[in-house]
Every structure is written in C-alpha cells, then in structure tokens.
Structure 1
C-alpha cells in the first residue's frame, strides 16, 4: 500500500473520531483562489470541511487550499495576510484559526507545531502524531 494513501487514511480517521471532542469554528472560503506558495502538507481528503477541520488541529496550519477536482487538501503555514493568494480554477481557499476550543485530553495538549493531538476512545489524550506529507 502507498504510504501517502495510508497516511491520508489515518489522518481522516483521526479527524472523524475527534469531531465529537471539539467545537469547530465555521469557515468561509474564496472560490477560485489558492495560496501561491506550496503547502507543508498535501493530503487527499473527501471535502473542504474535512480539510479545514484537520488543519484546525495543527498549530502550524494557518490556511488551506482545496482542489475540488482532485480532492487534494493543501495545508499552508501562511495565510491571506502573510502569504500570496492567486487565482486558481477549481480551488477553494480559507484562512484557518487553530481551534481554541479543544476539549478532553487535548485541551492542554503539549503537541509541537507540526503534530496533531490524538484522542483515545475515552476522550483523553492518547498522544501526538507528526504530520508529514508530500
């Protein structure tokens, strides 16, 4: 199995299993726009909502560019103020604020900038996982 596909699946599972433990902020997006700089993490995810929600759990992630055709989620360390937005057909762009409302074991997470907090089945913090991608 391709490591990138396996890792994307793992992050999707983590995201879906932590929805119950977080109060996500809603998002607005700009259609036909993307950050010009390459992202620090690119994953194939089902939709913009999943892309946005996962980004909220990673301190380093300040914005997302989502390709609606390929379903590629580009997580960026820059946002619309610190980076450069360009026109890009088929993309959705949104600035992201890391969720300030993490609950359970992740509320006091000591995860590093490039890690995501993983919760166990009881709502406690199971640990941190390094996010890596293409």
Structure 2
C-alpha cells in the first residue's frame, strides 16, 4: 500500500511539474538542491534543507496565465502529502508578463481565489541573469 502511494506521489509530481513549470531548473545532486533558500511571500525565508531526504517540488507559477488553475491542484497535492514530509514552494515570476505588480497582490489573489497556504516565495526571476540560483 505504501509503495502504491509513493508511486502515485511521484507520478503526480511529474505530471504537475511537466504541465506547469515554465522553466526547467538545472539538475544537481540532492545535497546541492537541499541548500536553496527563497524569500517567503509571508515573511522570512523558505529553506529547502527542511525537506532534506524527502521529496519536494519547486514550481514556477503565475497568477495571470493559462495555467493559473494549477494553484488548486498544487494546494491539493500539498494538503495530501505535507504530513508525510512532502515539501513544495510555489515561485511566482513576472518573467513572462503574467504576474501581478506586487507581492501583496499575488498573496491576496492566491488566498482569495485558491485558499493557498503552501509555501510561496516572493515574486522572483526564473530566467536570465537575475534568475534565482535554483533556476540557473
């Protein structure tokens, strides 16, 4: 039964990441990935070290794009597996001109429309020279 849930979790992560990630992060070793830190839209920081040895998903999001409904599925995935140690960071970006002008607007939109409580970073660059290191 656990194996079935584990396979389902990985399949779900793959589908969501494939469908919603606008950029493919560079690949690295687990210890390398465990060192990233993101400024939280709620204040403070989100450090991936908290999920060391556990699965986590970092996904580029945008509040005004065709995939905006992904927030509902991402929140559902997070709700389903967070107690098992699964981590997630939604990373809003305006690199593709599909995000609100301020972090406050992004936070409000996500809370009001999708009841988001999963970890979410401030709006960050995911492409180019200013991209967050995770996406380089």
Which TM-score applies when normalising by structure 2?
Answer: 0.30
Q: Please state which structure has a larger fraction of its residues in strand.
A: 1
Structure (1/2) with the larger helix percentage: 2
Tell me the TM-score normalized by structure 1: 0.31
